[in-house]
Chains A and B, each alone.
Chain A
Amino acid sequence: MRLLIDLAIAILIAAVVGFGSAVIVLDRDRLFGAVTRGEWTAWPDSGSANADPYTEAMLARSGEVPLGSGEGLAFTAEADRNGARLSGRCSYRIVGQTPAARLWTLTAYDGDGHLMENPANRTGFHSREILRREDGSFVIQVSPHVEPGNWLPVETDRALRLVLRIYDTPLTSGGVGDAILPSIERVSCS
């Protein structure tokens, strides 16, 4: 009898620890292989044949199709330069330059990973339509209110996620190295 109780307890512990830890790990962001530069994080391994099992499991659960290393690299930002989480209630300026690439796109998502709904029907910018300063750098205004220049409208009270996809870039073969990415500065919050 005592043996049965002990066995039952052991199996319960095994089930709780095993399944619980798997769920907790998979609900968080991808664990391994993250490369962070400033506010931006990329997972170069997720687009290669040697993705780790956690990344594979996360991709299978989300249904996401990662960019292959021969296609490009996606950087995600969820916080501004000071580390505060991006929020749809705030306005931001994305300032600077992007790493060498043939093409890039910047897209705004909500916290659940859906495209940002907005009346202007603009969910992002790409590198050829953006207005630049004379030195080639750019400023993108992420804001619920109309802004001059490159305005990326957002309409949410909740979290915000920005994805910068860089296509045909040496970063995927030569490593991210000290790539310089634009910084995200908070302007104001309502």
Chain B
Amino acid sequence: MIRGLLFALGGLILGGIIHIVVILLVPDFADRDAWTSMGRFGPDGAFHVLPMSEPGTEPLPYLDPRMATAVCRFSLENGPIRIKADMPDDFWSIAVFNRRGSNVYSLNDRTAERSDIDLVIATPVQLVQLRENPIPALEQSIVIEVPISRGFALIRAFVADPTLLPGAEAALRAANCSADVKAPAPPPAPAPTVEPDTDAP
């Protein structure tokens, strides 16, 4: 009898461990998570404008139907990536998520204090390299450090009125998820990028 109870207790403890393991592994094995769903819209490394949410045809669950949305899955394995977009004057925001769908960074047009998006996403190691060899073209960029190797970025642009939708969608379609990190922003800069002893922060 006591023996049986001990085995039952062991089973309960093992069950607790299984519970924890399942909860922790669900994001890696889910097949309807945001990352997997976004793969439907097109190849990685580019922004894809999602159709506006309408009853019956929501591209992703619980997207705001008053926001135009574009998503891009990216990988940092081949170096930092740069996101560039010219946005409309009204509210917009951009959020960066890891592969598991957790938010790691977000920003809106007012906190960005500018009307365009110029965001460089780098891993901690890549950021150290960027600091040692600053790229002049990135002086105006917002450089963020994220501890992830893969993830996705999502831009939301407010559409106050259906007549403004084409403009918002055009801006999102022109958004670049793999802009040249070394390319000069406004003025042309010399091609070689290794410039030691410039103003490292």
Q: Which residues of B contact A131 (CB under 8 A)?
A: none
Q: How many whole Å from A110's CB to the nearest CB in chain B?
A: 9
Q: Which residues of B contact A18 (CB under 8 A)?
A: 14-19, 21-22
A interface secondary structure, majority: mixed
Residue of B15, B16, B36, B154 with highest tally of chain A CB at under 10 A: B15
Inter-chain CB contacts under 8 Å: number: 197
- Contact flags (1/0) for A40-77 with B, using CB distance below 8 Å? 00000011110101101101111111111111101000
User: For the complex, is B124 an interface residue (Cβ under 8 Å from A)?
Assistant: no
Tell me the B55-87 residues at the A interface (CB within 8 Å). 55-56, 58, 60-67
B95 touches A71 (CB 8 A): yes
A10 touches B8 (CB 8 A): yes
Category for how many chain B residues contact A: 35 or more
Chain B residues at the A interface, C-beta cutoff of 8 Å: 3-4, 7-8, 10-19, 21-24, 26-27, 30, 32-34, 36-37, 53-56, 58, 60-67, 91, 93, 95-97, 100-108, 110-111, 154, 156, 158, 160-161
28 A-B pairs (CB sep. < 8 Å): A6-B7, A11-B11, A13-B14, A14-B14, A14-B15, A16-B15, A18-B17, A18-B18, A18-B19, A22-B19, A47-B106, A49-B103, A51-B102, A53-B23, A53-B24, A56-B27, A57-B24, A57-B26, A62-B32, A62-B61, A63-B32, A64-B34, A65-B97, A68-B95, A68-B107, A107-B65, A113-B61, A115-B53
